[in-house]
Structure formats: structure tokens, C-alpha cells
Amino acid sequence: MKLLFLGTGGANWGIEFESRPEFFRRESSAIINDELLIDPGKDVIEALNTFNVDRKRIKYILNTHPHSDHLNEKTLKELQNIGAEFIQFKVGETKTFGRYTVTAFKGNHAACPTTHFLVSDGEKEVYYGLDGAWIMPDAFHTIIDRRVAAVVLDGTYGFDTYSGVFEHNNMGMVVEMTAVLKKYVGRVFISHLSSKHHSTHESLVKQMSEYDVDVAYDGLEIDL
């Protein structure tokens, strides 16, 4: 399975940061095997161009939740118009399409109905767990039982950031969960990082390597 992070920022990042010379993040989105897109946000078309993904290859689109940084009608329409199919899920549903089997789990994201996805491409499995605080028991047990190849966690807030931790994770929570997850799963990534609550990417990478957590960045491509 090829997992490509098209965007790794929280809602206060975005493509408009591109004009800045330093490191920036697009709104969070990821694509599997160049054909299954999770979250058609407003930055996705630009990201596909920048990271050399042929948008005509996208067959399926999933959406975690309707917040504007994860679902953009214009992006969705544009991709649907060239053949992608938008597949919607309710919590608990499993659907099979093409080589993929996807199960939707409840994300703990306050009042916003949010689904996290366990995606299998017939070879490997990845759990895409953002946005949301913590992992709910059904998902936690499934991730562990299935020994998934990778888990992507919400990494919105930093160390010593304590507001919003009942809708998103901070690094303390990521450390707590990872200590358990790493006994059972291949890799743990964080994405959906806030621009305001983290230090530089480099220093965060260094800090999180101590806990065996990979900090995603735009354009990061992983072969699982």
C-alpha cells in the first residue's frame, strides 16, 4: 500500500501559506495507491499537481467529516466530474469497492459527526483517525486485533497545550496512545497539526522520535 500525505495541517494552515518561504502545511488529506482519496479539501487539487498524482486515477473519495478544511464542494465536484466516486459511510458500516474494504468507526470530535476509516487494499491496512480526541474502544480494539500496518492520529495540539483536548489530541495523548499501539501496529503517524501549537517541524520530529511517532508532512510518501 502506498500512503501519500497530501496535507497535514489543522484548520489554521492552508495553501495560502504557500506564499511564505518557510515550511507550511496544507489542510489535511491523504491518498492511498493514488486512487483512494480521504478528504477532498480545498488544497487537494494543488497538492495532487505538486506531488505528481494524476487526478484522473482517483477512483474513490471518502470524507471523515464535513468541516470545511476536510470537505470542499468544488474539489469534490471537480474529481467526481472526471470519474471519481464519492462513497459515504455511517459509523459501523463496511463497504467493499475495487480492491478496497473500508470500515467506518466513530471519531470523537465533539458535536461534529465524524468517521475514522480502517482501509484495506487487500494487502495492508491503515487506520485514518482524524479529526478526533483519543480513539473510541471499538476502533482501538480493532486496530490492535488486526495489527494494522499504520495508524494516523490527530496531532492538532502540542505538548503542554490543554485547550481543545476533548475534540483533538495533544502530544501527551498521542504519547499515551502510541505506547499501547506500538506493541501491535507497524507505524504511528500524526497529521492535522496546528500552526500555532507546535514548534518547528524539525524539532517536533526530534521530540516525537523519542516516542516512535512519525510526524507527517505534505508530500510524505510511505510504502507500507
Partner 1 sequence: MKLFFLGTGAADWSREVQNDSEYRRFTSTLIDDTLLIDPGPHVPNAIEVFDKDIKNIKYVINTHRHSDHFNADTLALLEENGAEFIDLHAGDKVQIGKYFVEAYKANHGKIETVHFFISDGDKVLFYGLDGSWLMPDESYGLMKKGVDYAILDGTLGEKLGDIRIIEHNDLGMVREMTKSLKPFVKRFCINHFAKEYFPTQEVTEAFGKKYDVDVTRDGEEREI
* Closest by Cα among 60, 61, 24 to 41: 61
Provide CB contacts within 8 A for 124, sequence distance 6+: 1, 148, 149, 150, 224
C-beta closer to partner 1: residue 86 or 140 = 140
Residues with Cβ within 8 Å of 48's Cβ and at least 6 positions away in sequence, in order, are 6, 31, 54, 55, 58
Provide, rounded to whole angstroms, the least separation between the CB of residue 165 and partner 1.
5
What minimum distance in Å lies between the beta carbon of 134 and partner 1?
A: 4
HSE-up of 224 (CA within 13 Å, CB side)?
A: 27
Least distance (Å) from partner 1 to the CB of residue 115? 16
CB of 109 to partner 1, least distance (A): 8
- Cβ-based nearer residue to partner 1, 145 or 223: 145
> Least distance from C-beta 180 to partner 1, angstroms?
5
**Contacting positions for partner 1 (CB under 8 A):** 108-111, 133-138, 140-141, 144, 160, 162-163, 165-167, 170, 172-173, 175-177, 179-180, 183
Residue closer to partner 1 by CB (options 98, 137) is 137
In the bound state with partner 1, the residue whose beta carbon lies nearer, of 110 and 205, is 110
State phi, psi for 221 to the nearest 5 degrees: -115, 130
Nearest to 144 by CA among 125, 131, 171, 159: 125
As given in the structure block, the three cell numbers for residue 69 are 478544511
Give whichever of 91 and 175 is closer to partner 1, judged by the CB atom.
175
